Chains A and B, each alone.
Chain A
Amino acid sequence: MAVSVDEAVSTGPVRDHTPSARRFGGRGRFVLEVALLTVLAVVMLFPVLWMIETSIKENRDVYAIPAKFFDFKVTMDHFKDVFVASGGGRSTLSVSFLNSVVVAGVSTALATVLGVPAAWAYSRFAVKAKKDQLFFILSTRFMPPVVVVIPIFLMYRQVGLIDTQLGLILIYTAFNVPFTIWMMKGFVDEVPAEYEDAAMLDGYTRLQAFWRFTLPLLLPGIAATAVFALIFSWNEFVFATFLTSSDNVRTAPPAIAGLIGGTTVDWGLVAAASVVFALPVLVFAYLVRKHLVAGVTLGAVRR
């Protein structure tokens, strides 16, 4: 058993706080920590739990008062409705999920292809006013999307990008490139430049040296950065709402939001669509969790 400092140094008569100090120093403290964490977990996870429950309840159980927590009949009808239209064929929601996959995937790929070489250049070369440039790149992210969405809307209307997937892909790429540059620069800084120097003396060109020797070492960082970019594009709501309107272009977030607001709301369908929407992000984050932590603690922090 560990002896607390209080116990070790107290020589006089037992003071009032000593028993409580002993209790909180050992098992008591552990119990309290677990209890607080449990409360926090319940508060955080209850909405998620409720969403999952609602997605597998029949409609009359959804509206039941008092709410049924456990004794309801499980149904997968809502999930079927997410993908299959009532008259057969693909549902509009399933189309919007496909749109989300395309928009998020392409914009993330573009941001990575543009951002990684830029990060490498900022890390390796003496660029004029490097710090100012990097600050300027970051500053494009200071503006909240709601502020820029109106000018973007007007510009897009002029060039015919309104209500197109390309329009969304471009704006998401524009938002993800600065993030990719900043996060990747941290990762590139961690890789010693000597590998490239050695490769160039071996007889490779600078680009070959980067491609063959530095890039493989950056892959974990690229994975972490790409997942962050993917999550941003996947979850993005404001631009998607303002810049798209037709069902065959619209991404999932505005499509799901669109389910709410009629005379009756099919909460079961909303919940099922939300579960389907949240799942890919959770799976991705789980797959690259090691790199995500590395990305947060090592890549993004400048030393």
Chain B
Amino acid sequence: MGTVAVHGLCKSFGKVQALDGVTLDVPDGSFFVVLGPSGAGKTTTLRAIAGLEKLDAGSVHLDGRDATGDAPAARDLAMVFQNYALYPRHTAYENIASPLRARRCSSSEIAAAVEQMSSLLHIERLLQRRPAQLSGGEMQRVALARALVRRPRAFLMDEPLTNLDLKLRVEMRTELTRIHRSLGATFVYVTNDQVEALSMADQVAVLKEGKVQQVGTPTEVYERPANQWVAGFVGSPPISLLACHAEGDRLVGAEGWTLPRPSWTTAEDGRTLLLGLRAEDLSVEQRGDASLSGKLYGLEPLGDRTVVDVRVGTEIVKVKARPTVTGTPGERLHVTVDLDRAHLFDAGTGLSLSEAGQ
């Protein structure tokens, strides 16, 4: 068992409201990612679950039992800190052994558990070193081993991969997913990296300014963002948002363009809307019925693809294209729009008007 539920978490630091009614439900055995920009309250949420932060309001339930006032030690959780927090005067071995020592395990049990963990994470030859003698990736593995060495209710991870270089980060991402599968344990994982969130998570909670914006599977969050902000935060290159309004069977842009009105929207005429278009749902290479005309603004070759920036009126629309695409700035282009995959948001509230997002 390992469910974590928090309800209505509120916490302020001086005048800054770090958490403003955060409610999350982490099912047993899931890889639950809390995603948001820095300052969104992700770490504070995690520390609240761990019992390291005194809350202004709200409750924490572990396995269905109210644990709001419990000491961290009583919660039976393990945490990986962003800067690892390895004890500087202890060897890697002693660092990994620490949670077992705290629970007064026998030294033979400890030796067996540490050995098992070190072979799982390939750190056998580092065990006698102190943190100062380890590289960032090695410290990260030792910190992971210290968390994984026992079987707590849930694992809490605070941006454990941010301090690693790109190659190692990609490696560790797969590694963590593998570990999660093999343990079947509950992971609550905090990150500001949407790639980590989308690639590892069973469930993603998107956080902004201490408020939960959306909870769902990675596909739901990407395909059906609940609001304009989530749509803009998740996805790379970022979604293009164009101001428009509905007029009969057409969408009329503030920049003068018109598109057929998508069949799925129920937005009434005249209401100010934002049309959200993801780069992969647009094309400059094929011709279709629904298209915007604009001028080539710039090309961003990314190796496996090229992002074409097209200027529609005064706004820039990002279009994903084959790496072979060429063009000169200022050249006239037609951008074909896959309207079935487009998003509409209310310009005032930012909320999604697509049927599934509501």
Interface residues of A (CB under 8 A from B): 126, 192, 194-195, 197-206, 208, 213, 216-217
Q: What is the bound-complex CA distance between A245 and B149, given in angstroms?
A: 64
Contact A194 B98 (CB under 8 A): no
Cβ of B83 and Cβ of A200 under 8 Å apart? Answer: no
> Which 6 A-B pairs rank lowest in CB-CB distance, beginning with the nearest?
A203-B102, A194-B85, A200-B72, A202-B99, A198-B85, A203-B73
Using a Cβ–Cβ cut-off of 8 Å, how many residues does chain B contribute to the interface with A? 24
Choice from B50, B83, B86 contacting A201 with Cβ under 8 Å? B50
> Contacting B81 at CB < 8 Å: which of A194, A205, A217?
A194
Contact A197 B99 (CB under 8 A): no
Check if B237 is an interface residue, CB within 8 A of chain A. Answer: no
Against A, the Cβ 8 Å flags (1 = close, 0 = not) of B72-89 are: 110001110101011111
Given contacts A200-B73, A204-B73, contact A213 B87 (CB under 8 A): yes
> For the complex, is B103 an interface residue (Cβ under 8 Å from A)?
yes
In the bound complex, CA of A126 to CA of B55 (Å): 13
Distance between Cα atoms of A194 and B85 in the complex (Å): 6
* Chain A residues, CB < 8 A from B134: none
Name A202's contact: one of B54, B88, B102 (CB within 8 Å).
B102
- Closest B residue, CB atoms, query A202: B99
- B85 neighbours in A (Cβ, 8 Å): 192, 194-195, 197-198
CB distance from B209 to the nearest CB of A (A): 22
Q: Does B290 belong to the interface (CB within 8 Å)?
A: no
Q: Which residues of A contact B88 (CB under 8 A)?
A: 195, 217
Report the separation of the CA atoms of residues A204 and B99 in the bound assembly, to the nearest whole angstrom: 8
What's the Cα separation between A201 and B73 when bound, in Å? 5
Q: How far is the CB of B138 from chain A (nearest CB, A)?
A: 17
Which of A126, A192, A204, A206 makes the CB contact (< 8 A) with B102?
A204
Nearest A-chain residue to B89, judged by Cβ: A216
The minimal Cβ–Cβ distance linking B102 to chain A, given in whole angstroms, is 3
Given A195-B88, A200-B71, 7 extra CB contacts under 8 A: A197-B47, A198-B98, A199-B87, A200-B73, A201-B79, A203-B102, A216-B89
A205 B87 Cβ-Cβ under 8 A: no
Judge whether A205 and B50 touch: CB under 8 Å: no
* Chain B residues near A213 (CB-CB < 8 A): 87
Per the bound structure, the CA–CA distance linking A204 and B72 in Å amounts to 8
Q: Is B356 part of the contact surface with A, judged by Cβ < 8 Å?
A: no
- 11 residue pairs from A and B, CB less than 8 Å apart: A126-B54, A192-B85, A197-B52, A198-B79, A198-B85, A198-B98, A201-B72, A202-B101, A203-B99, A206-B71, A208-B102
Complex CA distance for A202 and B52, rounded to whole angstroms: 12
**B264 nearest CB across to chain A (Å):** 47
Query: For A204, what are the chain B residues with a Cβ–Cβ distance below 8 Å?
Result: 73, 102
Among A192, A200, A202, A205, the one with the most B-chain Cβ atoms within 10 Å of its Cβ is A202
Give the nearest-CB partner of A191 in chain B.
Answer: B88
Chain B residues positioned under 8 Å from A206 (CB to CB): 71
Pairwise interchain contact A205-B52, C-beta atoms closer than 8 A: no
Chain A residues in 8 Å Cβ range of B72: 197, 200-201
B51 proximity list for chain A (CB < 8 A): 200
Between A194, A201, A208, the greatest number of chain B beta carbons within 10 A of the residue's beta carbon is seen for: A201
